[in-house]
Amino acid sequence: MIRKVLIANRGEIAVRIIRACAEMEIRSVAIYSEADRFALHVKKADEAYCIGSEELDGYLNPHRIVNLAVETGCDAVHPGYGFLSENPELAAACAARGIVFIGPDADTIRRMGDKTVARKMMQRADVPVTPGSEGNVESLDVALKEAERIGYPVMLKATSGGGGRGIRRCDSPEDLRRNYERVISETTKAFGSAEVFLEKCIERPRHIEVQVLGDHHGNIVHLYERDCSIQRRNQKLIEIAPSPQLTPEQREQVGQLAVRAARAANYRNAGTVEFLLSDQGEFYFMEMNTRIQVEHTITEEISGFDIVQKQIRIANGEPLPFTQEDVKISGYAMQFRVNAEDPKNGFLPSYGRITRYYAPGGPGVRIDTAIYTGYEIPPYYDSLCAKVIVRGRTWAELLARGRRVLGDMAISGVRTTIPFYREILDHPDFIAGRFDTGFLQDHPELLNYSLKRSHDDAALAVAAAIAAHVGL
């Protein structure tokens, strides 16, 4: 039985896992760098240990993490997302030391992390994939020949990539020549691999992903889909569950494809199968993420399942206590990734001290965060401040609640993406549920916040200052 879990992560996902453990009466162990000494996950865990003075080294050292898990009497390690969550070395190190890894085994992570291997696996399982190179392209000359065969535009992708990095669209041989070395350099720095491959670029797709759960008893189910089409440079910004753009038939189809993909991978634990949906209504497998997703929250809101707790129970050897027929969803949920970035200045990071933080509340509102008033956002990690999740019975109610919540929320001391999201929610195409991955590119005017918004923000700041002065 899992009684004590080391969380190999930081920030809001570490806090999220700590809360799941607390409800299951499982002790939690946090790790932190010197830069994170005053982080919220350090305060919330039952135990916390400094993993190193370097900002990143400790979080990226699998053997140091597993050694600490053994020394502190942990039964399991939860990797969260990012960092080592899709690194097979951490899963293998856990297995070698008798520690349960809360995720799939190292071999599954390795196979699904190699996108060319994953593509071939999906083809054998009759899961449609986008046309592309048969394997990695080993030189620019080979890439140019493959691109000519596939037909421009093409996507040049890192084989071991993820999180929107190591991807470039190429519309011509000149684009491919210009981007080839850039992608090689980026993927080598980010993932330690120089391998790349080519895929046909699906024009104006919608990004649809499906949450799956698989146990150690052969049971695999899906918890329906999320629409992640609102993104910038392949980085997700707003996620919605279920997608307002799918028909019931498409919803059933993509769910079945995801289960087929997970079964082909002999998948165990929580995972996400990502697809592109073309204008012609065709789904194409893109990749499988072998970890908890940032946006798992909205699936929890519409399904009623605690996915992190399900991860722990599956890792504990428990069978899923329900079948696909038992999975029901209700209403809509939307997540806003509130980042410490300046949308008006090219989304440059805005690190610094949070001088005032006001979290919204009310029905259908959930905030997953690790910030607090006085917290200083360090410049060494991603810029995520908070995940703002809203739920509504209908699409119209969801939009209204989202506007209200983003209007209520206040973070002072750093610039954030909150005003940008307010503009998106008011756009007629978004309101009508008409959007794809090119939405922000098509609507650059969304960055031109209205004068009224500026006045509203100023009034909110004044009100917060007055409240602080009188001790409200």
Pinpoint the alpha helices (H) of 72-170: 88-96, 106-113, 115-124, 140-150
Residues in the chain, overall count: 472
The pLDDT of residue 233:
87
Q: Which residue in 110, 291, 313, 422 is the catalytic one?
A: 291
Element (H, E) at 199: strand 196-200
- For the chain, which domains are there? 4-102 (3.40.50.20), 131-200 (3.30.1490.20), 206-459 (3.30.470.20)
Give the Cα separation of 60 and 380 in Å (integer): 13
With contact defined as beta carbons under 8 Å apart, do 100 and 75 qualify? yes
The alpha carbon dihedral of 220, 314, 389, 345 has a sign of negative
Cis omega before residue 379 (within 30°)? no
The pLDDT of residue 457:
52
Q: Annotated catalytic, 291?
A: yes
With contact defined as beta carbons under 8 Å apart, do 81 and 292 qualify? yes
- Using the CB atoms, write b or e for 339-371: b if 16+ within 10 Å: bbbbbeeebeebeeebebbebbeeebbbbbbbb
Give the Cα separation of 190 and 158 in Å (integer): 10
| Cβ-based burial of 47 (10 A; exposed 0-12, middle 13-18, buried ≥19) | middle
Closest CA to 359 of 404, 400, 409: 409
pLDDT tens digit sequence for 50-83: 998 877 788 999 999 999 999 999 999 999 999 9
CB within 8 Å of 87: residues ≥ 6 apart: 62, 109
The pLDDT of residue 193:
82
Give the Cα separation of 297 and 299 in Å (integer): 5
The alpha carbon dihedral of 359, 271, 163, 13 has a sign of positive
The pLDDT of residue 472:
44
Under-50 pLDDT residues of the chain: 450-452, 454-456, 458-459, 463, 466-468, 470-472
Give the Cα separation of 90 and 101 in Å (integer): 8
The pLDDT of residue 451:
42
Tell me the pTM: 0.91
The pLDDT of residue 186:
86
The pLDDT of residue 454:
44
The pLDDT of residue 455:
43
Closest CA to 369 of 103, 79, 39: 39
Kind of pairing between the strands at 100-101 and 76-78: parallel
pLDDT tens digit sequence for 309-333: 999 999 999 999 999 999 999 999 9
Q: In the structure encoding, which two tokens stand for residue 401, read together? A: 């609640």
